[in-house]
Amino acid sequence: MAHDRRAKMLQGTVDLLILQALSLGPMHGWGVSRRIRALSDDVLRVNQGSLYPALHRLEYRGLVRAKWGASANNRRAKVYSITARGARRLGTEFRDWERFVLAMRSVLEATEAPDLEAEESAV
Amino acid sequence: MKALLLRIKRLLAGQVSDREIEEELRFHIDMEAAELRRSGLDETEAQRRARAVFGGETRWREAVRDARGAGWIEDAVRDVRLGIRGIARAPMLAIAAIGTIALGVSATTAIYSVVDQVALSPLPYPDSDELVSVWLRNPARGVERDKTSWPNFVDWRLATTGLESIATFVPHQMTLAGEDGPELVAGVAVSDGFFELIGTAVEHGRGFRDHEVEGDFANVAVISHELFTRRFGADPAVLGTTIELDLAHYEVVGVAEPGLAYPRHTEVWIPQAFGTGRQWRDPRQRLWLSVVGRLADGIELRAAQREMDTIGARLEADHPAVNRGVGIALEPLHETVVGEVHTPMLVLFAAAIGVLLIATVNVANLLLARGVVTSRELAVRQALGARRGRLVRQVLAQTAVLAGAGGVLGAVLAAAGVVALTAAAPTDLPRLDEVGLDLRVLSTALAATLGASLVFGLVPATVTTRVSPGAILRGAGQGSWLGGRVRLRAVFVIGQFALAFVLLVAAGLLLSSFLNLRAVDPGFSAENALSVGLSLSRDRYPDAQARRAFGESLLENLGVLPDVAAVGTVSEFFVDDLRTGGPVTIESRPDAFEVGTEPQVASDAVSPGFFEAAGMSIVSGRGPLRSDAPEDVPVAVVNETFVRIYLDGLDPVGQRFVWGRPHGEASKWFQIIGVVTDTRRAGPSAPVDPAVFVSAYQRPRRDLEVVIRSTGDALGLVPAVRATIAEIDPDQPVTRLRTLESALADSLAQRRFVVWLLGIFAVAALALAAIGIFGVMAYIVGCRTREFGIRLALGAARRRLLAEVLGQGIFQAAGGLAIGGLLAIGVARVIRGQLFGLEAIDATVFGAASAMLVLVAVAACLVPARRAATVDAVVALRDG
């Protein structure tokens, strides 16, 4: 169960990362993973096992679209680009993410416990 | 709408071929490998590391496919393929499951198709639920359904408001002359408004006009569509032409539409003539008309019956001499047509349902047994990382393959079963020609078995996937959750045995009844006797003289044929419930019965030699002879029942009686010259009525049945008999030709049919229950192999283990027996009316069924029990 929840959280994050990466320009799957790695200074590595299912899922949902084209070294490659819907979704996901980060930070940076007893007696 | 279109488009666009996924994967690995090479690795290592990042490629592919919702079709196909492979690994189990499903589905569907058509579905006439039969009843005489007289009918018709219309019909066989010789057709004479009442429409020409019906003889006829096609090439030119029926000429005025004939298979309708014919002293006493009515709109049968009761009471008051104790009974026409087969049909259907239930439980049982195997397989796969939903889906697919195969096979068998049933069924089963495979039932039966298999197929899938794989692999099938399933399966087995017991008892009761019936002495000798029906036409044989002459030459010419031991005629050998006759008055005991309570006496005319030909014994006196001349006192032979009821304590020979009540000088007294043994000509279960046999030589009748006793095989006489009759009168058709033996067997045909089917069901149920208990015991023994091994190693006696397993099986069977016994008592009460010569709770039948059940249970448990007793301790401890 615990494993499941973590995977799910990760999945949402992967989606966000992919959408962000594609918002910078169309790219094939390998390129997307490279781009995320580069942008995060090699900290975030999207597992290939999650990357492609995520790309296909996003495509199925209409957030990205895929087209067979030529790669830089002229090989046939499946190139993904973000759709208008995908861009909108990126916006909302990004705001959610910011809220999440903020919340995490305020918890993690807290130095003293909130006065719960005062609140309880107020109720 | 737009959203839906979008979804569909995406679904179609979403279908990514495996090749594309493969290509994308290849591209990624190549790019990764190239990158790794740049960082200094050699080619092979780069490739290896590039691949490694994907983990299992197969799993990756599946994940990609799963990501696209549209992959489910491919998944389903793959699951089914896997399912078939899984099933092929356990073929015996698969065959058992498929066979069980097929058996359950086909038996129920085939039987229900017949039962529904014969006994349940409405008659094919418009608003057929409004149609009723109108009977005369006389409870004091034990007559519930009798025909009526013309004056009675006219009174009913005038008085009733509950019936919007009412009409008479008199079916009789008619001889239709033709270039290819005479042909017998099913004719019916009808009163005014009969067509409109039934709803029979005329497709060519017209029906009868008012002045044509119920008056003097009007020579017009309406023919059936079938006859129209068969005899007249469907040429409407037949309208207005003349056909010869019973040597009278009729103008064809109409052709009826197909399908709405009543009585069914009527080929010719003629108007009922009431103006001509023999004048009866009191026409009100001549009960010869069958009557149908149609309930007025919004009138319930019960309300109409109340009105009829009032009308009956008034007629009783108006005509006390003839209508004493006489009432009127309405009966839904459906009941008249379907009649007494209703209960047997429903018993059969209930039996089929029982078999279906047992079959379904067995499938569940088998699938649960499968679950033991499958659960380990599933646990392994789950441990290797397969997702739970996927596993459940796969088990479902396997079950669906089993159920689907069984269902298809069942449907095919059901179709074949309906054909076989209609072929095997006695021809007098009403409405059999309407029977077809009932698709609604087929789908219901399919749904029931498939649904049950899916539910029980899912049990292993859900339970297994919920439990941690490690536990199952470690416990190897002995976890506590399996214990629960053992209990569930034991309950199943008990239920199966209970149902099987009920079926065994029902089959046993009906079988004993059937045997009892067959053992009943009919009072005549059916062996080596042939019977030939003849119906002398009114025109060719207008009077007694002509008919007597025909009878004389018939007996003379047939009597001299080689191998003929005896020959005689009777008006009708096998009689049904609605027979002619009436009450009699004995001269020396005129006041033995109150008016209206005299028992009905059946009346037949027999020729000299008939009793010898039929093998009936004359108890005292003699039979009719040629020397009893037409002008002499009419003589009569009576049966033993007549003597008991009317002549108790008197010497029968020499007594005189009169039909009805004596009326002075005009009374026609009959002299009793002999007594014969009782015969059961209405079937072995019918009560024996008092009967009078008058002399056919003195009073020759129009309808006669010639009985010819052969010294050898009766059928060998057929050609000679036919030739002899044709010699006497080439235009005389033979209405019926059969051996008395076959006629006697026919009277039991319906019972034989029901007994056979029920017997098959009972055996099938028992076999299924045996499979069920075998499966459970084998499973339990399998689970306890290790335990048995340890006990054997510690010195337990093998015999003890054997007894323990057997005991467990017998315990389950006994549980089924106890519950089944209670159910069987209830069922036996329900079918009591079908039994003959034994009580509903028959000790022999119940005892035999119990013994059979226990025996089968022991036999089924013997193999698993032996396996338990022969466990090799070493092997069990090593592998268990």
Rounded CA gap, B418 and B624, in Å? 50
What's the confidence (pLDDT) of residue B156? 93
Rounded average pLDDT over B488-510: 87
Structure tokens at B539: 């025109």
Q: CATH number, domain at A17?
A: 1.10.10.10
DSSP, res B752: H
| B118 confidence band (pLDDT: 50, 70, 90) | confident
What's the confidence (pLDDT) of residue B5? 60
Q: How far is CA B107 from the centre of its chain?
A: 12
What's the confidence (pLDDT) of residue A6? 38
Contact call for residues B127 and B296 (beta carbons, < 8 A): no
Q: Among B596, B600, B681, B605, which residue's Cα sits nearest to residue B646?
A: B600
Number of H helices, E strands in chain B: 27, 23
The residue among B768 and B52 whose pLDDT is bigger is: B768
Which residues in chain A have their CB less than 8 angstroms from residue B69's CB? 60
Asked whether residue A15 is assigned to any structural domain, the reply reads yes
Structure tokens at B324: 């004493």
Alpha helix positions (H), B735-879: 740-746, 749-783, 785-793, 798-830, 843-869, 873-879
| B578 confidence band (pLDDT: 50, 70, 90) | very low
What's the confidence (pLDDT) of residue B610? 94
Q: Between helices B785-793 and B798-830, what is the axis angle to 10°?
A: 140
Rounded average pLDDT over B288-311: 92
Contact call for residues A25 and A32 (beta carbons, < 8 A): no
Q: For residue B102, is pLDDT > 80?
A: yes
**Given an 8 Å threshold on Cβ–Cβ distance, is A49 in contact with B59?**
yes
| A13 confidence band (pLDDT: 50, 70, 90) | confident
Over residues B698-728, the pLDDT tens digits come to 989 888 899 999 998 888 888 888 889 888 9
Q: How far is CA B518 from the centre of its chain?
A: 20
Handedness of CA B554, B555, B560, B561 (dihedral sign): positive
Over residues B36-60, the pLDDT tens digits come to 888 888 888 888 887 776 666 667 7
Q: Which residues 79-118 on chain A approach chain B with CB closer than 8 angstroms?
A: none
HEC assignment per residue over B381-415: HHHCCCCHHHHHHHHHHHHHHHHHHHHHHHHHHHH
Query: Phi first, then psi: what are they for B448, rounded to 5°?
Result: -60, -50
Residue in A closest to B63 by C-alpha: A53
Count of structural domains, chain A? 1
Interface of B to A at Cβ within 8 Å reads 6, 10, 14, 16, 20, 23-25, 27-28, 30-32, 53-55, 59-60, 63-64, 66-70
Structure tokens at B389: 């939903």
Q: Which of A30-39, A106-115, B447-456, B524-533 has the lowest mean pLDDT?
A: B447-456
CA distance B117 to chain A (A): 53
Q: For residue B573, is pLDDT > 60?
A: yes
| B295 confidence band (pLDDT: 50, 70, 90) | very high
For the ranges B83-92, B578-587, B839-848, the maximum mean pLDDT occurs at B839-848
Contact call for residues A81 and A28 (beta carbons, < 8 A): no
Amino acid of residue B126 = P
HEC assignment per residue over B194-246: HHHHHCCCEEEECCCCHHHCCCCCCCEEEECHHHHHHHHCCCHHHCCCEEEEC
Q: Among B479, B446, B451, B447, which residue's Cα sits nearest to residue B463?
A: B479
Rounded average pLDDT over B834-839: 84
Q: For residue B328, is pLDDT > 90?
A: yes
The residue range of the domain holding A64 is 2-112
Range B95-100 contact pairs with CB under 8 angstroms and sequence separation of 24 or more:
B96/B362, B96/B366, B96/B771, B97/B363, B97/B366, B97/B367, B97/B402, B97/B406, B97/B453, B98/B402, B98/B405, B98/B406, B98/B409, B99/B406, B99/B409, B100/B359, B100/B362, B100/B363, B100/B366, B100/B406, B100/B768, B100/B771
**Given an 8 Å threshold on Cβ–Cβ distance, is A59 in contact with B14?**
yes
Asked whether residue A36 is assigned to any structural domain, the reply reads yes
What's the confidence (pLDDT) of residue B430? 66
CA distance A18 to chain B (A): 15
What's the confidence (pLDDT) of residue B656? 93
Rounded CA gap, B78 and B86, in Å? 12
Kindly state the percentage of chain A with pLDDT values over 70: 82
Average pLDDT score over chain B: 81
What's the confidence (pLDDT) of residue A8? 41
Structure tokens at A32: 């997307």
What's the confidence (pLDDT) of residue B841? 86
Over residues B795-819, the pLDDT tens digits come to 888 888 888 888 888 888 899 999 9
Q: For residue B780, is pLDDT > 90?
A: no
The residue among B530 and B280 whose pLDDT is bigger is: B530
Q: For residue A21, is pLDDT > 80?
A: yes
What's the confidence (pLDDT) of residue B165? 93
The residue among B646 and B20 whose pLDDT is bigger is: B646
What's the confidence (pLDDT) of residue A10? 53
Which residues in chain B have their CB less than 8 angstroms from residue A18's CB? none
Over residues B381-404, the pLDDT tens digits come to 777 666 677 777 777 777 778 888
Asked whether residue A120 is assigned to any structural domain, the reply reads no
Contact call for residues B169 and B195 (beta carbons, < 8 A): no
Q: Provide ipTM, 2 decimals.
A: 0.76
In sequence order, which residues have a C-beta less than 8 Å from that of residue B695 and are 6 or more positions away?
Answer: B605, B606, B607, B608, B624, B628, B634, B635, B636
Over residues B647-694, the pLDDT tens digits come to 988 899 999 999 888 877 778 899 999 999 998 877 777 778 889 999
Is A53 part of the contact surface with chain B (CB cutoff 8 Å)? yes
Count the neighbouring beta carbons within 10 Å of the beta carbon of residue A27.
Answer: 20
**Given an 8 Å threshold on Cβ–Cβ distance, is B54 in contact with A56?**
no
Interface test with A, best of B2, B18, B19, B24 (most A CBs within 10 A): B24
The string of DSSP codes covering B134-187 is: EEEEEGGGTEEEE-B-HHHHHHHHHH-SSEEEEEEEEEEEEEEP-TT--EEEEE
What's the confidence (pLDDT) of residue B836? 84
Is A3 part of the contact surface with chain B (CB cutoff 8 Å)? no
In sequence order, which residues have a C-beta less than 8 Å from that of residue A75 and are 6 or more positions away?
Answer: B27, B30
Rounded CA gap, B523 and B679, in Å? 4
**Given an 8 Å threshold on Cβ–Cβ distance, is B30 in contact with A29?**
no
**Given an 8 Å threshold on Cβ–Cβ distance, is A49 in contact with B16?**
no
Q: For residue B170, is pLDDT > 50?
A: yes
What's the confidence (pLDDT) of residue B479? 42
Count the neighbouring beta carbons within 10 Å of the beta carbon of residue A8.
Answer: 10
Rounded CA gap, B248 and B791, in Å? 95
What's the confidence (pLDDT) of residue B434? 64
Structure tokens at A4: 């499941």
The residue among B727 and B338 whose pLDDT is bigger is: B727
Kindly state the percentage of chain B with pLDDT values over 90: 22
The residue among B58 and B512 whose pLDDT is bigger is: B512
Rounded CA gap, A20 and A91, in Å? 9
Asked whether residue A122 is assigned to any structural domain, the reply reads no
**Given an 8 Å threshold on Cβ–Cβ distance, is B63 in contact with A53?**
yes
Alpha helix positions (H), A1-123: 2-23, 29-39, 48-60, 84-108, 116-122
Asked whether residue A121 is assigned to any structural domain, the reply reads no
The residue among B476 and B294 whose pLDDT is bigger is: B294
Asked whether residue A14 is assigned to any structural domain, the reply reads yes
How many inter-chain contacts (A to B, CB under 8 Å) are there? 60
Q: Among B296, B297, B278, which residue's Cα sits nearest to residue B288?
A: B278
What's the confidence (pLDDT) of residue A4? 41
Average pLDDT score over chain A: 79
Over residues B173-223, the pLDDT tens digits come to 777 877 766 677 888 989 988 989 998 888 888 888 877 877 776 789 999
Query: Nearest 5 degrees, angle CA B534-CA B135-CA B576?
Result: 35
What's the confidence (pLDDT) of residue A49? 75
In sequence order, which residues have a C-beta less than 8 Å from that of residue B52 and are 6 or more positions away?
Answer: none
Amino acid of residue B152 = N
The residue among B99 and B565 whose pLDDT is bigger is: B565
**Given an 8 Å threshold on Cβ–Cβ distance, is B23 in contact with A49?**
no
Tell me if residue B324 falls in helix, strand or coil: coil
Kindly state the percentage of chain B with pLDDT values over 70: 85
| B338 confidence band (pLDDT: 50, 70, 90) | confident
Alpha helix positions (H), B287-387: 301-318, 320-323, 333-338, 342-383
**Given an 8 Å threshold on Cβ–Cβ distance, is B28 in contact with A57?**
no
Buried b (16+ CB within 10 A) or exposed e, B206-227: ebbeeebbbeeebbbbbbbbbb
